[in-house]
Amino acid sequence: MASNFEPQWTEDAPVKGSFRSIFKWGAPDQFKHPNKRLFAMLKDVFQLTDDDFKKKQDEGHEAVVCKHPIKLDQKHIDWFIDVVGKNNVNTDDYSRVKYAYGKTLEEALNLRSGIVKNVPDAVIHPTCKADIKHIVEYCHTEKIPVTVYGGGSSVTLGLQCPRGGISLVMQTHMNRVISFNETNQTITVEAGMMGPEYERILNNAPDTLNGSRKYTGGHFPQSFEYSSVGGWIVTLGSGQQSSYYGDACDLVVSQEYVTPVGEIKTLDFPATATGPKVNDIMKGNEGTFGVLVHVTLKVFRYMPENSQSFAFIFPNWESAVNATREITQSEFGMPSVFRISDPEETDVGLKLYGIEGSVFDTLMRVRGFQPMQRCLLIGQADGERDFAINVKKKVKKVCSEHKAMYLTGYPVTQWSHGRYMDPYMREDLNDYGILIDTLESGVTWDRLHDLHQGVRAYIKGYPQTVCMTHASHFYSQGTNLYFIFIVKNKDIQSFIEFHRGVIKQIEQNGGSLSHHHGVGRLMGPLMEKHLGKSQMDVIRTLKKHFDPKNIMNPAGTMGLDEI
Amino acid sequence: MASNFEPQWTEDAPVKGSFRSIFKWGAPDQFKHPNKRLFAMLKDVFQLTDDDFKKKQDEGHEAVVCKHPIKLDQKHIDWFIDVVGKNNVNTDDYSRVKYAYGKTLEEALNLRSGIVKNVPDAVIHPTCKADIKHIVEYCHTEKIPVTVYGGGSSVTLGLQCPRGGISLVMQTHMNRVISFNETNQTITVEAGMMGPEYERILNNAPDTLNGSRKYTGGHFPQSFEYSSVGGWIVTLGSGQQSSYYGDACDLVVSQEYVTPVGEIKTLDFPATATGPKVNDIMKGNEGTFGVLVHVTLKVFRYMPENSQSFAFIFPNWESAVNATREITQSEFGMPSVFRISDPEETDVGLKLYGIEGSVFDTLMRVRGFQPMQRCLLIGQADGERDFAINVKKKVKKVCSEHKAMYLTGYPVTQWSHGRYMDPYMREDLNDYGILIDTLESGVTWDRLHDLHQGVRAYIKGYPQTVCMTHASHFYSQGTNLYFIFIVKNKDIQSFIEFHRGVIKQIEQNGGSLSHHHGVGRLMGPLMEKHLGKSQMDVIRTLKKHFDPKNIMNPAGTMGLDEI
């Protein structure tokens, strides 16, 4: 008999100054809780009872305390105060912890237990490019480590400061529009501008930019609300509509950096044949070459009225993969939102998006689409109206040829509605000792099944695990696989071992170490094995060129040195 | 009264072993002559009479003689013979000259006068990657300059060997398919494969590659017949259908190089977020980092039955530019062939493509499209059938909104028919002392008119010049401008001064130094001014990393050192 019990999911914003206020995902006062179906599933998988959801653990309500002494000389701190002003230099415990932590699960777990490490000595909020220039020059001269903090959504331990020094927070002031060029459809912004502000400005271009029409940036990562434009570029991010708009690297027209050896600004030509493109070389450096200060990006016409959404259910994973491959190679244009879920994710998704128990559910069962076999595809075509209509029409044709059933656009609306909200559930689960984390990888079509099966075998090899997989960024040569895994009751160390095991499986089964999360300190140790020595030597040479004293994001980032 | 005189354009293949056999464009026995209308125009512009076209000058029929002694020690030559065999090492005059020369006009003019410079000591035809590895290692140890020769179509003095050493000819043997991956829609080939062979293999994939369908490489530069796949990539080339298929750099999935410090192979993921992409860093290095041996490229479905061609005449250049900008930014997909000609090129084009004097010509005049104001657009949409139909439909709508008149697809057929043939006319003109050359540049929309007007003003500032301009590679941020200029009776040195003046004007008026011709030794001297020291320092650092002894394509290429 189904119980009506529902856990008392946390509904209060974290206590100010608490550890929880640092690790909680997203807006302090926003929440998304597991719905009843998901809750029932979790109890079932982990063999838990309602009683197991009556007492929360390690909630992190305690006030942040940082026992690591400030090692930076007061004279340096005074120098920073001279440059950016007293209000823009923090040395309090809370700031030092807050700006050393991203959203990696093990960071959250540590903070829940009050474990703090790898903090900067001081947190600096530069007010303009000139500030950054002075600071980087000074730190270069004085050999003070500089770690760049954009939006704070890193899931690769990318913001930690194992060697102390300063954390340079870009989002506080470095968040303005520098210029807008409507003729070229480009905008130049400071790198610390956050996703929602960037999109708000573009969507309202007639008011905000004196534009003749509305625009969109076309970049909507899951972390959209808490990531910065600069962060997208230096970590090679991808948005949920990347299959149409491109990955972050495709959106960059030119960049301006402050590096320890000086400023570097690339040119804004749409194409050139003037030797290796330094603009490309700088993308993805994760702050190890210098500080991205300004960036010029392509923008697109904002035409939401043209969006065409669609969803399909496939009899199995193979048919879903084959259909999406056919779609990417058929040359009728690409959908923007485009995502297929494997059987395990599909069943969870049907719960999450309100399909389970609906008329669609009945129809699926009648038509023989079986749980733990059937696979969900959701998508949306954008662009000019007839283009988008044709994309949807052709997608339907291909899906039908692959035995899929059309589910209308309803599941997309459901998904879209909460598109940035799913990560909010992490804290709820963690409160009851259930760990949920993700890893993702780029892969060619021919290695997709090996990667999927290899990683799943490893994860499901542990008793009582959920392993959901989707592909959500498509290319004619391949896609990505995004693994979401849920495990129960592991201590931090065993979780870390398990987690590193997943990364190894990804690498060994033909996936890239990262499709759009970057490298940070998480993938760093595997970089040389993955890329090979000759490629790593090139990156090291560039690192040495820009940062000969290794002050920029040092200690393990991208595997360039040791933690 | 129009004369019926027609010059005796050369119809014989060049004498074997002659200078002409080296500088003549294209197939020895193929010709395209100026038609009557073009001939009449040339006489008119240059105030020439039929008599001026009765005696050819400096035809270059003499046998090639190379007076530069071989400076390379015989022991080295013997070593090369040991590696690749006697037949694959040439030290004869003809080979040393042939493989030092591209198709730059001043090279042709020099060869017409029997002037030979910057030749290698020996020409080597490696048979496989292992040969190249041995040779590059040896040359690194012995400090022997190595210049890589792909298809031989360089127009930037890129193949010359000012420091002697060896010319490494890729097209002779390094022209095989390594592998074909139909699932990923990629092919891996040796870098010396020539354009037509590459396309032939793909178009006939069911026979040649055991493929399930036909493919295309989508890359059709003007030099298609005499350029190599590797050359496209290391010089950052663009094809005539690049607006749809992408530039050469967009087609590259992964590359394998032999450099003086070892081999480097990039991975074939469709996307990764594992730090700065070494695959991008290597593109456009023009052989200065090492020898590109294998390359994996995206291929596309070959669907010529879907092609939709169209042409329009615009009242003026501004309306043509505005319409194409609107097309690139409207998000209905891009045409593949897409080209607008300025008024001067339009009038020549109408002569060349048989429009002048046709019913279209009458219609244009009646409708008020005036010579030296009207501008021609030609294009073709490719891809899936309904996608292509929609592109054409929307292009028509935009063009109509910009006051253009539809000319059907006829001019495209005319253009397409001779798409690779126009350069064949160069020798005919040169035979009578008329010089024709081209330079091109990438440019953002907002600087297009400055660039066009600035360069035209400079060229037309010289008496009796033809200056035709088109844009033929489109992006939502801008396009390229391709300048074709015809001048009369300049000696080589004054032509070179004039030509360098055009390049300076391009740079000073907001254009990139090169859109798709690469840098070579022609743009080299302006690279630092153009890119700025900080970008050049990055390229120099990479150069030093891969080639610490500066043996690869040394002496001026990309401005990395002095000639």
SS3 sequence of B216-251: ECCCCCCCHHHCEHHHHHHCCCCCCCHHHHCCHHHH
DSSP string, A464-491: S-EEEEEE---BTTEEEEEEEEEEES--
Q: Do A272 and B185 touch (CB under 8 A)?
A: no
Question: How far is it, in rounded angstroms, from Cα B374 to Cα B41?
Answer: 18
Question: CATH classification of A304-419, choosing from 3.40.50.300, 3.40.1710.10, 3.30.70.3450, 3.90.330.10?
Answer: 3.30.70.3450
At B418-438, the pLDDT tens digits run 777 888 999 999 999 999 999
Task: Find the closest chain A residue to B187 by CA distance.
Answer: A477
With a cut of 90, say whether residue B416 has pLDDT above it.
Answer: no
Q: Which residues contact A351 (CB under 8 A, 6 or more apart)?
A: A35, A37, A38, A41
Kindly give the pairing relationship between strand A375-381 and strand A337-341: antiparallel
Contact A556, A521 (CB under 8 A): yes
CB contact under 8 A, A387 and B387: yes
Alpha helices, DSSP H, located in A278-376:
278-282, 317-329, 343-352, 359-366
Interface contact B271-A532, CB threshold 8 A:
no
Residue B169: phi, psi to the nearest 5? Answer: -90, 115
* Structure-derived torsion over alpha carbons of residues A126, A129, A133, A134, reported in degrees to the nearest 10: -50
DSSP secondary structure string, B330-341? S-S---SEEEEE
- Cross-chain Cβ contact B271/A390 below 8 Å: no
Tell me whether strands B166-169 and B122-124 are parallel, antiparallel or unpaired: parallel
pLDDT grade, residue A401 (50/70/90)?
A: very high
From the CB of residue A490, how many other CB atoms can be counted at a distance below 10 Å? 16
* Rounded distance between C-alpha atoms, residue A263 and residue A261, angstroms: 7
CATH no. of B74-168: 3.30.43.10
pLDDT tens digit string along A295-335? Answer: 999 999 999 999 999 999 999 999 999 999 999 999 999 99
Please report which confidence band the pLDDT of residue A2 belongs to, taking 50, 70 and 90 as the band edges.
low
Q: Which chain B residues are closer than 8 Å to A235 by Cβ?
A: 273
Check whether A270 has a pLDDT greater than 50.
Answer: yes
Separation between Cα atoms, residue A62 and residue A97, nearest integer Å: 13
In the A/B pair of chains, how many CB contacts fall below 8 A? 282
Is the CB of B301 less than 8 angstroms away from the CB of A331? yes
Q: Which two tokens stand for residue B343?
A: 């008024």
Angle separating helix axes A385-401 and A317-329, nearest 10 degrees: 140
- Residue B2 has a pLDDT of 58
CA distance linking residue A423 with residue A437, whole number of Å:
10
Structure confidence by residue, pLDDT tens digits, B55-113? 999 999 999 999 999 999 999 999 999 999 999 999 999 999 999 999 999 999 999 99
Query: Are residues B330 and A541, on separate chains, in Cβ contact within 8 Å?
Result: no
Taking alpha carbons only, the member of B359, B351, B321 closest to residue B452 is B321
Using a 10 angstrom Cβ sphere, with 0-12 exposed, 13-18 middle and 19 or more buried, the burial of residue A71 is exposed
> What are the structural domain ranges in chain A?
74-172, 177-301, 304-419
Contact predicate A327/A394, CB 8 Å:
yes
Which residues of chain A neighbour B271 with C-beta distances below 8 Å?
238, 247, 442, 473, 475, 478, 480, 512, 515-516
Q: Please give the backbone phi and psi of residue B313, each rounded to the nearest 5 degrees, phi first.
A: -115, 130
Question: What H or E segment, with its residue span, contains residue B376?
Answer: strand B375-381
Q: Which amino acid is at B327?
A: I
pLDDT in tens, B219-262: 999 999 999 999 999 999 999 999 999 999 999 999 999 999 99
Cβ distance of A273 and B515 shorter than 8 Å: yes
Please list, in sequence order, all residues whose beta carbon lies within 8 angstroms of the beta carbon of residue A359, skipping any fewer than 6 positions away.
none
| H helix or E strand, kind and range, residue B381 | strand B375-381
**Whole-number pLDDT of residue B419:** 78
Task: Inspect the interface and report whether the beta carbons of B274 and A325 lie closer than 8 Å.
Answer: no
Task: DSSP letter for B73, please.
Answer: -
pLDDT tens readout for residues A329-365: 999 999 999 999 999 999 988 887 778 888 888 999 9
Six token digits for residue B20:
């002409």
The mean of the pLDDT values for chain A is 96
Instruction: Give every CB contact of residue B553 below 8 A, 6+ residues apart in sequence.
Output: B146, B147, B148, B158, B286, B287, B288
What separation in angstroms does the CA of B76 have from each of A502, B70, B96? Answer: 52, 11, 16
Question: In the structure, what pLDDT confidence band is assigned to residue A1 with cuts at 50, 70 and 90?
Answer: very low
Share the mean pLDDT of chain B. Answer: 96
Q: Which DSSP string do the residues of A53-92 spell out, in sequence order?
A: GSS------SBP---SPP-S-HHHHHHHHHHH-GGGEE-S
Q: Kindly indicate the confidence band of residue B1, based on its pLDDT and cuts at 50, 70 and 90.
A: very low
Whether the per-residue pLDDT at B389 is higher than 70: the answer is: yes
- Report yes or no for ipTM above 0.90: yes
Q: Tell me the shortest Cα–Cα distance from B26 to chain A, in angstroms.
A: 23
User: Which chain A residue is nearest to residue B387, measuring alpha carbons?
Assistant: A332
CA nearest neighbour of A157 among A91, A226, A195, A108: A108
Alpha carbon of residue B343 to chain centroid: 23
Task: Give all strands (DSSP E) within B402-453, no chain letters.
Answer: 405-406, 434-444
| Long-range CB contacts for residues A449-457, cutoff 8 Å, separation at least 24 | A449/A318, A449/A321, A450/A509, A450/A510, A451/A481, A451/A506, A451/A509, A451/A510, A451/A511, A452/A317, A452/A342, A452/A481, A453/A509, A454/A505, A454/A508, A454/A509, A454/A510, A455/A481, A455/A483, A455/A502, A455/A505, A455/A506, A455/A509, A455/A511
Q: How far is B401 from chain A (nearest CA, A)?
A: 17
Q: Dihedral sign, CA of A496, A502, A503, A505?
A: positive
Count of CB atoms situated within 10 Å of the CB of B461: 10
The DSSP symbol for B69 reads: P
Half-sphere exposure of A387 (CA within 13 A, CB side): 25
Among positive and negative, which fits the CA dihedral B384, B385, B389, B392? positive
Higher pLDDT, B414 or B326: B326
The sign of the dihedral angle between the CA atoms of A491, A492, A497, A500 is: positive
Q: What distance in Å separates residue A537's CA from the closest CA in chain B?
A: 9
Q: Measured between CA atoms, how close is A219 to chain B, in angstroms? A: 16
SS3 A203: helix
The percentage of chain A sitting over the pLDDT mark of 90, rounded to a whole number, equals 92
Note the pLDDT tens digit of each residue in B434-472: 999 999 999 999 999 999 999 999 999 999 999 999 999
A274 vs B519: CB contact, 8 Å cut-off?
yes
Q: Give me the CATH topology for the region A74-172.
A: 3.30.43
How close does chain B come to A29, measured CA to CA in Å? 32
Cβ B84 vs Cβ B128: under 8 Å: no
Closest Cα partner for A522 from A104, A209, A216, A175?
A104
Where is pLDDT greater, at B35 or B10? B10
**DSSP string covering A374-438, please?**
-EEEEEEE-SSHHHHHHHHHHHHHHHHHTT-EE--SHHHHHHHHTTTTGGGHHHHHHHTTEEEEE
Reported as a single tens digit per residue, the pLDDT across B177-205 is 999 999 999 999 999 999 999 999 999 99
Phi/psi at A38 (5° precision): -65, -40
Q: What is the dihedral of CA A130, A131, A133, A135, to 10 degrees?
A: 160
The predicted model gives A214-231 an average pLDDT of 96
Q: Phi and psi of B108, rounded to 5°?
A: -60, -40
Q: Which CATH number fits domain A177-301: 1.20.1640.10, 3.20.20.70, 3.20.10.10, 3.30.465.10?
A: 3.30.465.10
CA distance A421 to B119: 66
pLDDT score of A490 more than 90: no
- Which among B185, B517, B545 has the least Cβ separation from residue A329? B185
Per-residue pLDDT of B337-352, as tens digits, reads 999 999 999 998 888 7
CB B480 within 8 A of CB B473: yes
Residue A484 has pLDDT above 80, yes or no: yes
For residue A244, count other CB atoms closer than 10 A to its CB: 23
**Residue B152 to residue B148: CA distance in whole angstroms:** 10
> How far apart are alpha carbons A211 and A182 in whole angstroms?
7
**A185–B477 C-beta distance less than 8 A:** yes
